[in-house]
Homo-oligomer: A and B are copies of this chain.
Amino acid sequence: MSAMKRQTPSRTAVLLIHCPDQKGLVLAVTDFIYKNNGNVVYLDQHVDPERRLFFMRIEWDVADFTIPDDKIGETFGILMARKYRMKWQLYFSDEKPRMAVYVSSLSHCLVDILHRMHSGGWKAELPVIISDQPDLEPVARKSGIAFSCIPVTAGNKREAEKAQLRVLRAHRVELVVLARYMQILSPEFISQYPSRIIGIHHSFLPAFPGAKPYHSAHERGVKIIGATSHYVTGELDAGPIIEQDVTRISHADTVDDLVRKGHDLEKRVLSAAVWLHLQRKILTCGNRTVIFS
């Protein structure tokens, strides 16, 4: 439909920037774009007054931009970033990040991601699924995606992660999505993909430590269960939060019902988080995220 085609310009660049706040930052960035003949289509900027930090997401039409794509970053770095001590990332709207999905035996998150890939809304490539279990190989095969089964034992963790890294590099993966992968990744592995590993965990009010949180939540009679998607850091389930949501439950729900509703929630929250990442709408700063709307 032509009406829809007109809604987004053919091709845009996105800059995500954060730096110490000072006067003139918005001006400097917009001036850089304007002078090089870019047309800003979206700008969201935010100052954290407590930390005196400046955050910005700016997206512009590059159709007539006078700096070639492969020089934009370099030029911006020299003219702008150094001067203002900016940390920045540059993306183009027609890039398709290459993604690996990690699974164990539960399929709900993976199936949800696969459908979103196939039905066209997601701008991403999914060349490989990695698992410590063989269970979901048929799902991968049906979708024509490579499946790499790398068993993890108490003794071989280091080797297993090295094998995973070889797979990730062979497929030039930029983003790792842990879709209910049941192993804990080592800090060494995680440090290879800073702010590029997205995980999901269930969250309860109050929190229930231990191996069977759904059983504990059921026994405690909670009325709400939640799920949290976050960037994975060395500290378990404590990385920057990307997205959270909850669902209502009642005393009549069995543990099975809780698990079923929890799975529905997990897939929704994880997919929403990955979508935000793919849209380049997330900036991380310390242990927080800024999510541009």
Quick one: given A26-B30, A27-B34, are A255 and B221 in contact (CB under 8 Å)?
no
What residue of chain B has the Cβ atom nearest to residue A256's Cβ?
Answer: B4
Closest residue of chain B to A275, judged by CB? Answer: B260
**Chain A positions 74 through 112: 1 when the CB is less than 8 Å from some CB of chain B, otherwise 0:** 000000000000000000000000000000000110011
The smallest C-beta distance from A111 to any residue of chain B, in angstroms, reads 5
Does A68 sit within 8 A of B, measured CB to CB?
no
**Distance A26 CA – B57 CA, assembled complex (angstroms):** 13
Chain A contacts with B in 35-55, Cβ cutoff 8 A: 37-47, 49-50
CB pair A119 B107 closer than 8 Å = yes
Q: Are A220 and B287 in touch, CB under 8 angstroms?
A: yes
CB distance from A64 to the nearest CB of B (A): 9
Measured between C-beta atoms, what is the minimum distance from A250 to chain B in Å?
7
Taking a contact as CB atoms under 8 Å apart, the answer to whether B50 and A42 are in contact is no
Q: A26-B26, A111-B111, A224-B245 are in contact. List 9 more A-B contacts (CB 8 A).
A: A3-B215, A4-B255, A7-B256, A24-B34, A108-B115, A204-B205, A205-B244, A226-B246, A246-B246
Given contacts A50-B7, A107-B115, A244-B222, contact A288 B251 (CB under 8 A): yes
Answer yes or no: A179 CB below 8 A from chain B CBs. Answer: no
A124 at the interface (CB under 8 A from B): no
Question: Does any Cβ of B come within 8 Å of A291's Cβ?
Answer: yes
Q: Does A170 contact B (CB under 8 A)?
A: no
Question: Is A169 in the interface zone, CB < 8 Å from B?
Answer: no
Binary per-residue interface labels of chain A (195-239) against chain B in the complex, 1 for a CB within 8 Å, 0 otherwise: 000000001111100000001000111111010100000000110
Check A49 against B9 for contact (C-beta < 8 Å): yes
Asked if B115 and A251 make an inter-chain contact with CB atoms under 8 angstroms apart, the answer reads no
A252 at the interface (CB under 8 A from B): yes
Say yes or no: is A266 at the interface (Cβ < 8 Å to chain B).
Answer: no
In the complex, what distance in Å separates the CA atom of A225 from the CA atom of B62?
33
* Bound: A293/B291 CA distance, A: 11
Query: With an 8 A cutoff between CB atoms, is A121 at the interface?
Result: yes
| A128 touches B (CB below 8 Å) | no
List, in ascending order, chain B residues with CB within 8 A of A238's CB. 206
Of B6, B223, B226, the contact of A205 (CB 8 Å cutoff): B226
Name, among A21, A24, A220, A268, the residue most crowded by chain B CB atoms within 10 Å (CB to CB).
A24
Determine if A148 is an interface residue (Cβ-Cβ < 8 Å). no
Interface flag for A31 (CB, 8 Å)? yes
Tell me the A1-40 residues at the B interface (CB within 8 Å): 3-4, 6-9, 21-27, 30-31, 33-34, 37-40
